[in-house]
Amino acid sequence: MEDRIAAYITRTREKALEQARAVDRQIRNGEKISPLAGIPVAVKDNICTDGILTTAASRMLAGFVPPYSATVVKRLEAAGATLPGKTNLDEFAMGSSTENSAFFTTRNPWDTGRVPGGSSGGSAAAVACGEAVCALGSDTGGSIRLPASFCGVIGFKPTYGAVSRYGLIAFASSLDQIGPFSRDVTDCALLLNAICGHDPLDSTSARFDVPDFTRFLVNDIRGMKIGVPEEYMAEGINSGVREVVVKAIALLESLGASVEYTNLPHTEYALSTYYLIAPAEASSNLARYDGVRYGFRAAKTSDVMDMFMKTRSQGFGAEVKRRIMLGTYALSAGYYDAYYLKALKVRTLIKEDFDRAFEKYDLLVSPVSPTTAFRCGEKTGDPLEMYLSDICTISLNLAGIPGMSIPCGFVEGMPVGLQLMGKHFDEGTLLRAAYTFEQNSDYHRAFPVL
């Protein structure tokens, strides 16, 4: 199966078996074990793993073996989970299709001629086709929710600060967030139990009371108030996708929720705001890859400046270089106020739109993507067309709120995801709504035939 899907950059069979044997010993000794003990959880290859190759799907880090593990990996290991391998992604998590990987393109298990979404395409594909029970990904502008939608699995982006980013290779630090993939909502809740919580190693990690997320697995949404932002259902959404999402919203209403359409007026500025802030932060974060400290270094260079330029030119792929240049331009003298500073102000307006909406609604719902998974190569020649794949997801990262993709139907045999959006640190409401939807539908039980 892996030879057709190509979900993994690195497979760690022996490590997984060693971890599984440790769980077997615990069981034989009558020890109490975690619900995740022995469960294979794949990890996106931009999350550091001690002693295991971590590349961010870039030539720049092709031989990098971290001397430490990310906090989320340590927490999963403490819960007894096993690591089957490191999954493929768009280079440095920059992309919406996993076609920007420096190594190979991951395929969608529902149709291997189509993309799995990005940037966490390897993690979503691995869970969708059964090569892992669960997985971790990262989400900067939709990179968990989009591939979850395209591959027909659960994908959860927690509130910014709810999960430690320590050990996550940075793309845009004010937007990046680690979260889980799973085949059902129960497994998603168990993973959130394991990875959420304050971490002193991450200065942006929030101090909050972490609940037992399985308490929210209740088949009841009677009285829940749901808003549907009209901007997310407007022109540009594929008619088939809109029809499936409207049907899913009707199911939620039939289960006792009250539903009404609402507005998030600054949504139209979200894409341009994101593509100023994210590249600006990427420009800063990726400055560390210079051929001196670690990673790739170009050969046959005449002096240190030549080495810097050739290393970065040869080590980074086209999309990463495009975003570094965009970000550097936005931060440059004479343009900082006109572009980056203005984008930060609009980001605040977008957050305030959500704040006002959540004064009235318990959660918001929308499509995850304007389309189902597109064909490999279909959008690689048009970066703007590719960026538009994230039009429904990026606002949540700008606002820092939690978001979730759940399978809600199919268009011409390809999965469609319903996006649930919640208040800061109100992951529980999303889980309750998702669990209720799941218990009253069969979409999550569908499995691709390979």
Residues annotated as catalytic are 44, 119, 143
- What homologous superfamily does CATH list for 2-269+345-445? Amidase signature (AS) domain (3.90.1300.10)
Domain range list for the chain? 2-269+345-445
Tell me how far CA of residue 122 lies from CA of 11, 47, 86, 129, in angstroms: 12, 13, 9, 11
CA 373 to CA 410: how far, in whole Å?
A: 11
What backbone phi and psi angles, to 5 degrees, belong to 8?
-110, 135
Supply the DSSP symbol for 56.
T
Identify the pLDDT of residue 333: 87
Identify the pLDDT of residue 269: 97
CA 350 to CA 398: how far, in whole Å?
A: 7
Count the alpha carbons within 13 Å of 272 in the hemisphere toward its beta carbon.
Answer: 11
pTM of the model: 0.97
CA 415 to CA 409: how far, in whole Å?
A: 6
Identify the pLDDT of residue 10: 98
Identify the pLDDT of residue 81: 98
Kindly give, in sequence order, each residue whose CB lies less than 8 Å from that of residue 335, ignoring residues fewer than 6 positions away. Answer: 329
Identify the pLDDT of residue 177: 98
Give the tens place of pLDDT for each residue, 252-271.
999 999 999 999 999 999 99
Are residues 414 and 290 in contact, defined by beta-carbon separation less than 8 angstroms? no
Identify the pLDDT of residue 211: 97
Residues of the chain with pLDDT under 50: none
For residues 247-272, one letter each, b for 16 or more C-beta atoms within 10 angstroms of the residue's C-beta and e for the rest, the string is ebbebbeebebebeebebebbebbbe
